[in-house]
A and B are shown apart, each in its own frame.
Chain A
């Protein structure tokens, strides 16, 4: 729950002298994914691994109490495991090739150990918390040998009392792992296509591999793959291509949807009912009804976006609104469309700096827009943000930022957004807290470089983890505005107060 969006969609506009609405010959839309050795939040705890000490610190975000538990050798990657009752997290111990599952009930934490023979550097967790998959994201490995395919992954049945770990082989260099909503299948998107893993079997196993390309090369590089939550279909966009591949993950059959120009972005609505494709060169946004588009590839609706360049889409979790923008050229105009009704006219929002990325609240009543300022004449700010009251149709609040944006998180309730800024090149470390609907933005100085921001919804606090040899995290209480920084997680566990003596 509540992890922030670290640098996701934070791209830099470049290549044009003026902000504009341009057309062909533009660079691709940038979709930057980054993963940090960052903490994760469960219901009320924030979990942080310390590879050096072999321990994991968990911080009660409501009381700021820090505890430390032993993990394996070099616990590194932590993931939250959904659970209806407890706070559960799993950590990958990279040197001992195992994982530790922590389950917190009040202050008591139990630990379970699982083998992870494949090793890895990333987790994928099923929505029901039943399965965890440890895999290797080659993007996180510098100068990886081309022969290293990182094809092994370990599927862990977190509920199994015997033989919970299963090593499987998927395609060459997987780039993402996902599950269907019922945790019956898992999907590994790799350079070989989509490897389908059956989970509703006595032992997890690979069912099939679906090639994505039609030619001799099946490389998934440059491809944007979205899998519907029910695991029935995969939508595939290839950079520079006007075609969208719609694959049945059941039959491996493919339907091809051809649009008017190369598709610059493709996203799925959270319910998986609509695919949103953005065609920048022709100024169109296309709504692909799912599953109908599979049997009727021409049955899509087109929403023309006149006079504004749009190349990327950002969708809200519980609203049919989609926000369109471009970061390929400096453009300060944000557009919204209603994905549930193609007949509705787009709505335009005038902002005052080029848009880099957009983060809507779950209900899309507000959106936090990150701006690039490189092309803003006479601006001394390295970045900026706007808080846009979408539902109220009021002017956006523009806020200059003292450093580049590192991470953005928005509370599930949509009442606060936090933006962490500053890096080694521009060490103005700040946390900006935007209140909605008041649009008040509070600036908090940070003691060191931020790594990732997040929200602990149950505690109604935001947090930003920062670089520090002993671990550092700053919490902001959204109710009181109180700021507390905890530095030295191991030290925090070194308090002995006579409890139970």
Chain B
């Protein structure tokens, strides 16, 4: 056993505030139920009780460096950027905050592209508990969620943070959405839409009764609220889809709202602000709502191209149908699926469009032992070109994407696991323990499978060949991380004691050549290699 390399040890706040590491060492046994993120090139342990993040970074096949970075007090939540390079945490600070030196609520960005990770702190005026990140990592939204942290809280208060800009008087930017009795429950960041007045991104805020549109180009403008409930029954928005329409046309962008408790989908046509409101409206566009009855409560919606033009696709499980809605006319055409599919994903970018340039959708469900391909080739006359159902041995509750070069593959997750080849439309089943966990490597070459137990397997996604490994300890989590030397490490984590991990070479895992670290939360980073 030898001491690990500690690349960086940053105990700024804790050292200043506490004087030493005694709190970590002398406190009660650490809570191992902490968030752990497998980032692109490091593993982040959010040791909230110790107000720190421990970054464990593989340097070489047998060596890992550790860095500690202090976080704020009063951890609320955290999230990882889609590229897994940035970790964002939200802390409440000292509650109540009695003195100026008491810690303020804050949003922190830990950027692990740098070594050691850099930290950007956005102080917040109020302690809020909810966090939503823009997939493009331009914006973050902080909002009240669940039980109040503060004594008095406005449930419709949002804080918008421009994640790529430094903190300033206008960053973060507080915003309060109009309240008609609801509170924010979900956020959707759209791609850029060409709207009247120019291209812009929107933030769609779902409450339990209405939706609000925030212009992300000018978030200081008041939001546009669309009250969905006009009758006695409160309509609950459950999902959002957005379409830019014709990229050259600024008058045909749309947002669709799926409802949790109604057969309708609400389509919002984003049209120019009426001439008689141009002088008073702060916006150059205005949503014109339309109700489309799709015959049952839809479980998923998305926009897609067909040879008849743009259509909103709505999966309606209780009708065992996919509804194709012409957003211009509201006409809904039904495609019989024969099974209650619940989820869908467009796979056109992988399998290519149909001869008519239409999209292809992949459907699956946690209640259907099969997947379906729907080629949206002909919506006039016959409302579809083909529905091709492929049986699977189990219902899939999730479908994992695979990065290029194997992006034609999808991982079907259920009580077993299979690999679906979108191009050949073949399914490769794997016999696994019940309810396996799995993840795909960043380079799209490997699938890692584990289950509660001591075993894991690596599947070569090109050959589909599985290689099994048996550890002598229980595997909690597993992840693959890029090494500083350019290699790849496969790391398993055990939530016992003060957390320990085992590190393998991801390309050639060897039980003889793995390295183990123990007592991570104690900062001991004891290493034991070549077991």
Q: CB within 8 Å of B: which residues of A?
A: 53, 60, 62-66, 106-107, 444-447, 468, 470, 472, 474, 482-488, 490-492, 494-501
CA distance A148 to B11 in the complex (A): 93
Instruction: Enumerate 9 A-B pairs (CB-CB under 8 Å) in ascending A order.
Output: A60-B274, A62-B275, A64-B271, A444-B329, A445-B326, A446-B329, A447-B331, A492-B288, A499-B280
CA distance A296 to B2 in the complex (A): 128
CA distance A484 to B271 in the complex (A): 11
CA distance A488 to B271 in the complex (A): 17
B282: chain A residues at CB < 8 Å are: 497-499, 501
Instruction: Check if A495 sits within 8 Å of B275, measured CB to CB.
Output: no
CA distance A447 to B328 in the complex (A): 10
Count chain B CB atoms within 10 A of each CB in A66, A472, A495 and give the residue with the most. A495
Number of interface residues of B (CB under 8 A): 37
B289 within 8 A of A: yes
Instruction: Check if A496 sits within 8 Å of B224, measured CB to CB.
Output: yes
Q: Distance (Å) between the CB of A482 and the closest chain B CB?
A: 7
Q: Distance (Å) between the CB of A400 and the closest chain B CB?
A: 15
A494: chain B residues at CB < 8 Å are: 210, 226-228, 230, 289
Count chain B CB atoms within 10 A of each CB in A65, A485, A497 and give the residue with the most. A497
CA distance A470 to B289 in the complex (A): 12
CA distance A482 to B210 in the complex (A): 29
A497: chain B residues at CB < 8 Å are: 222, 224-225, 273, 277, 281-283, 286
B26: chain A residues at CB < 8 Å are: none
B227: chain A residues at CB < 8 Å are: 491, 494-496
A484: chain B residues at CB < 8 Å are: 269, 288, 328
Q: Which residue of B210, B273, B289, B332 contacts A492 across the interface (Cβ within 8 Å)?
A: B289
Instruction: Check if A491 sits within 8 Å of B289, measured CB to CB.
Output: yes
CA distance A490 to B235 in the complex (A): 14
Q: Is the interface of A mostly helix, strand, loop or mixed?
A: loop
Name the CB-closest residue of A to B223: A498
B287: chain A residues at CB < 8 Å are: 495
A488: chain B residues at CB < 8 Å are: 230, 266, 289-291
B292 within 8 A of A: yes
B485: chain A residues at CB < 8 Å are: none
B225: chain A residues at CB < 8 Å are: 495-497
CA distance A447 to B325 in the complex (A): 9
Instruction: Check if B291 sits within 8 Å of A487, measured CB to CB.
Output: yes
Known contacts A63-B274, A447-B292, A496-B224: A483-B230 contact under CB 8 Å: no
A485: chain B residues at CB < 8 Å are: 290, 328-330
Count chain B CB atoms within 10 A of each CB in A53, A444, A487 and give the residue with the most. A487
Instruction: Check if A63 sits within 8 Å of B272, measured CB to CB.
Output: yes
Instruction: Check if A500 sits within 8 Å of B280, measured CB to CB.
Output: yes
Q: CB within 8 Å of A: which residues of B?
A: 178, 210, 221-228, 230, 266, 269, 271-277, 280-283, 286-292, 326, 328-332
CA distance A39 to B210 in the complex (A): 28
Instruction: Check if B329 sits within 8 Å of A498, measured CB to CB.
Output: no
Name the CB-closest residue of B to A67: B274
CA distance A65 to B269 in the complex (A): 11
Instruction: Check if B331 sits within 8 Å of A445, measured CB to CB.
Output: yes
Q: Is the interface of B mostly helix, strand, loop or mixed?
A: mixed
Q: Distance (Å) between the CB of B263 and the closest chain A CB?
A: 11
Q: Distance (Å) between the CB of A495 and the closest chain B CB?
A: 5
B277: chain A residues at CB < 8 Å are: 65, 107, 497, 499
Instruction: Check if A499 sits within 8 Å of B281, measured CB to CB.
Output: yes
Name the CB-closest residue of B to A445: B331
B224: chain A residues at CB < 8 Å are: 495-498
Instruction: Check if B286 sits within 8 Å of A498, measured CB to CB.
Output: no
Instruction: Check if A107 sits within 8 Å of B292, measured CB to CB.
Output: no
Q: Distance (Å) between the CB of B379 and the closest chain A CB?
A: 10
B221: chain A residues at CB < 8 Å are: 498
Q: Which residue of B226, B276, B331 contacts A495 across the interface (Cβ within 8 Å)?
A: B226
Instruction: Check if A498 sits within 8 Å of B275, measured CB to CB.
Output: no
Q: Distance (Å) between the CB of A302 and the closest chain B CB?
A: 50
B280: chain A residues at CB < 8 Å are: 499-500
Instruction: Check if B331 sits within 8 Å of A491, measured CB to CB.
Output: no
Q: Distance (Å) between the CB of A475 and the closest chain B CB?
A: 10
Name the CB-closest residue of A to B279: A499
Q: Distance (Å) between the CB of B6 and the closest chain A CB?
A: 53
CA distance A494 to B222 in the complex (A): 16
CA distance A193 to B330 in the complex (A): 48
CA distance A499 to B275 in the complex (A): 13
Additional A-B contacts beyond A447-B292, A491-B226, A498-B224 (19; CB < 8 A): A60-B276, A63-B274, A447-B332, A470-B291, A484-B269, A484-B288, A486-B288, A487-B330, A491-B230, A491-B291, A495-B224, A495-B227, A497-B224, A497-B273, A497-B277, A497-B286, A499-B277, A500-B280, A501-B282
CA distance A350 to B330 in the complex (A): 38
CA distance A106 to B277 in the complex (A): 9
Q: Distance (Å) between the CB of B181 and the closest chain A CB?
A: 13
Instruction: Check if B290 sits within 8 Å of A486, measured CB to CB.
Output: yes
Count chain B CB atoms within 10 A of each CB in A482, A486, A498 and give the residue with the most. A498
B331: chain A residues at CB < 8 Å are: 445-447
Q: Distance (Å) between the CB of A76 and the closest chain B CB?
A: 19
Count chain A CB atoms within 10 A of each CB in B225, B291, B329 and give the residue with the most. B291
Instruction: Check if A487 sits within 8 Å of B292, measured CB to CB.
Output: yes
Known contacts A495-B226, A498-B223, A499-B277: A64-B329 contact under CB 8 Å: no
Known contacts A63-B272, A446-B329: A496-B178 contact under CB 8 Å: yes
Q: Distance (Å) between the CB of B331 and the closest chain A CB?
A: 5
Q: Distance (Å) between the CB of B269 and the closest chain A CB?
A: 7
A63: chain B residues at CB < 8 Å are: 271-272, 274-275
Instruction: Check if A498 sits within 8 Å of B230, measured CB to CB.
Output: no
Count chain B CB atoms within 10 A of each CB in A106, A496, A500 and give the residue with the most. A496
A482: chain B residues at CB < 8 Å are: 328
Instruction: Check if B329 sits within 8 Å of A483, measured CB to CB.
Output: yes
A444: chain B residues at CB < 8 Å are: 329
Q: Which residue of A62, A66, A483 contacts B328 across the interface (Cβ within 8 Å)?
A: A483
CA distance A474 to B230 in the complex (A): 21
B228: chain A residues at CB < 8 Å are: 491, 494
CA distance A497 to B226 in the complex (A): 8
CA distance A495 to B210 in the complex (A): 10
CA distance A392 to B185 in the complex (A): 64
Q: Distance (Å) between the CB of A490 and the closest chain B CB?
A: 4
B222: chain A residues at CB < 8 Å are: 497-498, 501
Q: Distance (Å) between the CB of A321 and the closest chain B CB?
A: 36
Name the CB-closest residue of B to A501: B222
Q: Distance (Å) between the CB of B435 and the closest chain A CB?
A: 43
Instruction: Check if A107 sits within 8 Å of B274, measured CB to CB.
Output: yes
Q: Distance (Å) between the CB of B95 and the closest chain A CB?
A: 32
Q: Which residue of B288, B291, B329, B330 contacts A65 across the interface (Cβ within 8 Å)?
A: B288
Name the CB-closest residue of B to A53: B230
Q: Distance (Å) between the CB of B327 and the closest chain A CB?
A: 9
Instruction: Check if B271 sits within 8 Å of A472, measured CB to CB.
Output: no
Instruction: Check if A445 sits within 8 Å of B329, measured CB to CB.
Output: yes
Name the CB-closest residue of A to B272: A63
CA distance A486 to B268 in the complex (A): 10
A472: chain B residues at CB < 8 Å are: 330
Q: Distance (Å) between the CB of A364 and the closest chain B CB?
A: 32
A65: chain B residues at CB < 8 Å are: 274, 277, 286, 288
Q: Distance (Å) between the CB of A307 and the closest chain B CB?
A: 42
**CB-based closest 3 A-B pairs:** A498-B222, A494-B227, A447-B330
CA distance A106 to B274 in the complex (A): 10
CA distance A60 to B286 in the complex (A): 14
B210: chain A residues at CB < 8 Å are: 494
Name the CB-closest residue of A to B268: A495
Count chain B CB atoms within 10 A of each CB in A64, A65, A490 and give the residue with the most. A65
Q: Distance (Å) between the CB of A244 and the closest chain B CB?
A: 47
Q: Distance (Å) between the CB of B451 and the closest chain A CB?
A: 48
B272: chain A residues at CB < 8 Å are: 63
Q: Distance (Å) between the CB of B329 and the closest chain A CB?
A: 5
CA distance A60 to B329 in the complex (A): 18
Instruction: Check if A447 sits within 8 Å of B329, measured CB to CB.
Output: yes
Count chain A CB atoms within 10 A of each CB in B272, B274, B328 and give the residue with the most. B274
